[in-house]
Amino acid sequence: MAASTAHLSLLSKSSPSSPSLPHVLFTLPKTSSVPANSRFRCSAGQTGFFTRLGRLLKEKAKSDVDKIFTGFSKTRDNLAVIDELLLYWNLADTDKVLDELEEALLVSDFGPRITIKIVESLREDILAGKLKSGNEIKDALKKSVLEFLTKSANKTELQLGYRKPSVIMIVGVNGGGKTTSLGKLAYRLKKEGAKILMAAGDTFRAAASDQLEIWAERTGCEIVVAEGDKAKASSVLSQAVKRGKEQGFDVVLCDTSGRLHTNYSLMEELIACKKAVGKVVSGAPNEILLVLDGTTGLNMLPQAREFNEVVGITGLVLTKLDGSARGGCVVRFILV
């Protein structure tokens, strides 16, 4: 080979520190600034290289595992702030504690109006002598939040009705956790003894039906998927409800594609899905559950408003609370 051409060769001789690893030799072309015998050896043959690499990989793996477990503790840590505030509470520190409690609720996306109502209600009960310990204040806080959540709803359980099959539609924006929520709901209803049929109505996202098939296998449920690549979601849901009606299923769980609440055409398609289901079973769907990503904060308010106006939301599913999400915005939506 000409001296001006770069080439690569493997040396058969092995170093004492790594007998099984050949050296890699790069020979550079001759230039005026680089001597003809200039050679660079790859550091892979040096002693301790793989030892250091193994140590780095081990540390990286340990760091990833730690991140997983610390992620689940973030929500608990957010709630622990309230526990710390009320642990050593005494009457003399009432104003200070309530101010810090107000800040904690605002950070949790409860909003100023609801936060002031909760804090002032607690203040009145404390000054009236109704609440005399930190535990009592905490219990009153829980009760107050629960009252907000149940104020506009007489029933908090799923309303499946008496006519079979009951139909539940899952809707929401992209990436909110609709398919996973549907799988968990199927598991819960299956444990309660219901015969479940899943409908893979997400015909847009790649591998959405595959994901739902895995959930069907895990929960022991049957599933209806699109027959072709260009099948309409309304057609898939309609076929699923027909099968559920003919084969005596108790509940049909309908997955739908994620869609932005600002996209008019996609929201119109959701109306078509609802009408298609209603033609098969009168009064269906029994429940339309909106899946809200807990990490979106106040942005979930416009989502909820738009979906409610288009299809009429009957319930909320709050997801991804294993991270830094607070989800207090759900209380605001209930009161809007």
The verdict on 140 and 195 lying in the same domain is no
For 84, other C-beta atoms within 10 Å of its C-beta total 11
Cβ neighbours of residue 222 closer than 8 Å, sequence gap 6 or more? 196, 197, 198, 216, 249
* One domain for residues 62 and 96: yes
Return the structure tokens found at 114: 């609801």
Q: Count CB neighbours of 171 within 10 A.
A: 28
**CA 41 to chain centroid:** 49
Whether 66 maps to a domain, the answer reads yes
Q: Per-residue pLDDT tens for 126-148?
A: 888 888 888 888 888 888 888 88
H or E, element range at 178: helix 178-191
Residue 214 and residue 120 share a domain: no
CATH code of the domain containing 248: 3.40.50.300
Q: How many CA atoms lie within 13 A of 331 on its CB side?
A: 21
Count: domains in the chain: 2
Between these two residues, 46 and 157, which has the higher pLDDT value?
157
The CATH number linked to 134 is 1.20.120.140
Contacts of 269 (CB under 8 A, 6+ apart): 233, 234, 259
Residue 253 tokens, joined: 């769980």
3-state secondary structure of 152: coil
- Are 79 and 141 in a shared domain? yes
State the CB neighbour count (10 A cutoff) for residue 231: 15
59 within domain boundaries: yes
Whether residues 173 and 146 share a domain: the answer is no
Domain end residue (candidates: 95, 122, 151): 151
Tokens describing residue 100: 């810090």
Residue 17 lies in a domain: no
The residue-averaged pLDDT of 243-254 equals: 94
* Per-residue pLDDT, 255: 92
Average pLDDT value for residue range 41-57: 58
Q: Are residues 99 and 172 in the same domain?
A: no
The confidence band for 21, taking pLDDT boundaries of 50, 70 and 90, is very low
Per-chain mean pLDDT for the chain: 76
Peptide bond connecting 285 to the previous residue in cis, omega within 30 degrees of 0: yes
21's torsion region: left (phi>0), alpha (psi -120 to 50) or beta? beta
Q: Is residue 13 domain-resident?
A: no
Task: For residue 330, give every residue at least 6 positions away whose Cβ sits within 8 Å of its Cβ, in sequence order, or none.
Answer: 149, 292, 300, 316, 318
Chosen domain end from 117, 151, 185: 151
* Percent of the chain whose pLDDT exceeds 90: 25
| Domain end point (choices 125, 151, 177) | 151
Average pLDDT of the residues in 46-73: 57
Question: Is residue 264 domain-shared with residue 327, that is, in the same domain?
Answer: yes
Residue 146 sits in the same domain as residue 177? no
pLDDT band at 194 (very low <50, low <70, confident <90, very high): very high
DSSP string over 191-254: HTT--EEEEEE--SSTTHHHHHHHHHHHHT-EEE--SSTT--HHHHHHHHHHHHHHTT-SEEEE
The predicted-structure confidence for 259-302, as pLDDT tens digits, reads as follows 887 777 888 889 999 999 999 998 889 999 999 888 877 788 88
Residue 318 lies in a domain: yes
- Structure tokens belonging to residue 220: 């022991």
CA-to-CA dists, residue 174 to 8, 225, 230, 285, 292, angstroms: 50, 20, 20, 21, 10
Q: What does the pLDDT average to over 147-162?
A: 75
* Residue 16, in any domain of the structure: no
* Model confidence pTM above 0.85: no
Q: Which of 10-24, 213-227, 290-304, 315-329 has the lowest mean pLDDT?
A: 10-24
Q: Return d(Cα 62, Cα 319) in angstroms, integer.
A: 27
Residues 224 and 315 in one domain: yes
Residue 29 lies in a domain: no
| Candidate ranges 175-179, 252-256, 312-316; pick with highest mean pLDDT | 252-256
- Structural domain including 216 reads 166-333
Cα angle, residue 318 at apex, residues 160 and 271 outer, rounded to 5°: 55
Residue 251 lies in a domain: yes
Q: How many CA atoms lie within 13 A of 209 on its CB side?
A: 17
Residues 182 and 245 reside in one and the same domain: yes
Cα 249 to the center of its chain, rounded Å: 28
pLDDT given for residue 52 in this prediction: 66
238 and 281 together in one domain: yes
- Whether 251 and 161 have beta carbons less than 8 Å apart is answered as no
CA neighbor of 115 nearest in space, from 100, 125, 129: 100
- Say if residue 278 is in the same domain as residue 139: no
